[in-house]
């Protein structure tokens, strides 16, 4: 399969402009550019019923969050708690609003974006602790958000998918089980040496050097990489994990990590819906301006809707 032509042209233009490496850009500038890129990557996201800024309890205090309700939501609509990508050091409510508006519209379900704490100001496990705290709160008492605990799922993209995966597993072990999880191109460990990391290390958006830099910001010096919360593929037993929707991209350094996770979950008896978007690259859920990415988001939205329908009694 070939890389989508719209994406290939955009990557070629970026390469011709000699854009500096992520590690060579001041972090505050990189964060600002990441947020502002949302409107460039998806300039015309769907209209939704409402967008409400609220607060939710994190591990060390209240966190900002944004509740997105699609126009066709009803009293039975589910709620997906979403942890954004950005390498644990970038991103927030602005960077992912268009993507979540598109996912909400495609699925007919509500999405709650969470502004968890970022590295390096708040290194591991701060963001993960926030993810677990928010998810536990939503699963134990979701009535304040208009949902029953049985109609709550969790999801994320890239670094956020890692947070969602670990938080879902920890909550399930504690007796608070999400209906399912949605994991878009997760990042699953700093020491992984995969074929896709080698093949797509340069020229496809996210680079191998970006991953090394971001892990360096996220993980404190001396932190064990063997900790399953850092490297979830090392989790000894995944059978308690909730069902998973996993999306991987064909031209992504993290492609093989997502495929490995799908295999491990299935081997542990966990239901997995795998979406292999072979013509796309990392970050495609933010690329609503690209036709192929819009189609992929529609497929994800349909899968989310179907999973909620399957999880409801009767």
Active site residues: 158, 252, 282
Tokens read off for 118: 């970022």
Q: How far is CA 304 from CA 33, 106, 273, in A?
A: 30, 9, 10
Strand 181-184: give its sheet, edge to edge: 50-57, 62-69, 110-114, 79-83, 152-157, 181-184, 244-251, 272-281
Closest CA to 174 of 144, 133, 218: 133
Opening angle at CA 248, ends 245 and 252, nearest 5: 160
Question: 3-class SS at 193?
Answer: coil
d(CA 90, CA 127): 12
The token pair that represents 91 in the structure block: 């991103």
């Amino acid at each position: 399969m070939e890389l989508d032509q719209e994406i290939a042209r955009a990557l070629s233009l970026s390469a011709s402009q000699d854009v500096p490496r992520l590690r060579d850009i001041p972090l505050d500038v990189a964060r600002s550019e990441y947020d502002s890129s949302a409107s460039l990557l998806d300039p015309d996201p769907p209209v939704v019923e409402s967008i409400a800024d609220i607060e939710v309890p994190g591990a060390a205090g209240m966190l900002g969050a944004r509740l997105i309700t699609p126009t066709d939501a009803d009293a039975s609509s589910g709620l997906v708690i979403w942890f954004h990508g950005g390498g644990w050091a970038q991103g927030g409510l602005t960077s992912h609003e268009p993507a979540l508006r598109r996912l909400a519209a495609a699925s007919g379900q509500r999405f709650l974006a969470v502004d968890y704490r970022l590295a390096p100001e708040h290194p591991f496990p701060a963001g993960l602790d926030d993810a677990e705290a928010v998810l536990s709160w939503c699963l134990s008492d979701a009535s304040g958000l208009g949902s029953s605990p049985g109609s709550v799922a969790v999801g994320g993209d890239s670094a956020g998918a890692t947070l969602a995966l670990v938080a879902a597993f920890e909550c399930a072990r504690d007796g608070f089980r999400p209906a399912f999880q949605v994991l878009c191109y997760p990042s699953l460990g700093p020491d992984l040496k995969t074929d896709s990391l080698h093949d797509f290390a340069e020229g496809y958006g996210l680079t191998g050097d970006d991953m090394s830099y971001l892990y360096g910001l996220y993980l404190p010096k001396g932190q064990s990489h063997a900790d399953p919360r850092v490297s979830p593929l090392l989790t000894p037993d995944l059978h308690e994990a909730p069902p998973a929707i996993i999306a991987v991209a064909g031209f992504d350094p993290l492609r093989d990590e997502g495929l490995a996770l799908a295999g491990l979950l299935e081997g542990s008896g966990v239901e997995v819906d795998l979406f292999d978007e072979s013509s796309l690259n990392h970050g495609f859920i933010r690329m609503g301006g690209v036709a192929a990415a819009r189609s992929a988001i529609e497929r994800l939205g349909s899968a989310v809707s179907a999973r909620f329908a399957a999880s409801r009694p009767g």
